[in-house]
Amino acid sequence: MKEKLLKRFEEEVAALERELKMELPKEIQRARELGDLRENAEYQAAKERQTFVNARIAMIKRRMNEVALMNMERIPHGKAGFGSTVTLQEKDHERVYQLVMPEDADAEKGLISTSSPIGRAILNKEEGDHVVVATPAGTRRFEILKLVTIHDE
């Protein structure tokens, strides 16, 4: 899991650096050729994108350092933690979630952050545990039907 995550981060950084060094300079040059930079929307958009890409690269590199230093043995065995896949029963339907880092979260794809309300409530729980979560939409109640930890995969 750790290696897959680092590889994905490396690929994203490579794509962003390619955009930063190859594509954005061309866009900025094209925009400069259009004239007055103070009223040039294309130039402003390219410069804003350049700032965003630089910030995203820095954030990903910080996260890569955090992941590289992550001690996978500190993630609990038999209890929900980073990388775990949990099957939850809520009323009459089941949901399957994987606990991921905040930037990977996508609830519609079943990826929830370990820092989200549901993610925090699930951490360190075991199969059969009941979980009560206060969410902006109201209180939700789950039972953990199945748990597969990062160590089980």
pLDDT, one tens digit per residue, over 15-51 is 999 999 999 999 888 888 877 777 778 888 889 999 9
CATH architecture of 75-148: Roll (3.10)
Going from N- to C-terminal start, the domains of the chain cover: 2-70, 75-148
Query: In sequence order, what are the beta bridge partners of 54?
Result: none
| DSSP code for 76 | P
Question: How sure is the predictor about 122, in pLDDT bands with cuts at 50, 70 and 90?
Answer: very high
Give residue 112's pLDDT. Answer: 93
Written as one string, the DSSP assignment of 79-143 is: S--TT-EEEEEETTEEEEEEEE-GGG-BGGGTEEETTSHHHHHHTT--TT-EEEEEETTEEEEEE
pLDDT (mean) for 110-118: 91
pLDDT of res. 41? 84
Whether residue 72 is predicted with pLDDT greater than 80 in this model: the reply is no
Query: Which CATH architecture does the domain made up of 2-70 adopt?
Result: Orthogonal Bundle (1.10)
Single pTM value for the model: 0.60
To the nearest whole number, what is the mean pLDDT of the chain? 87
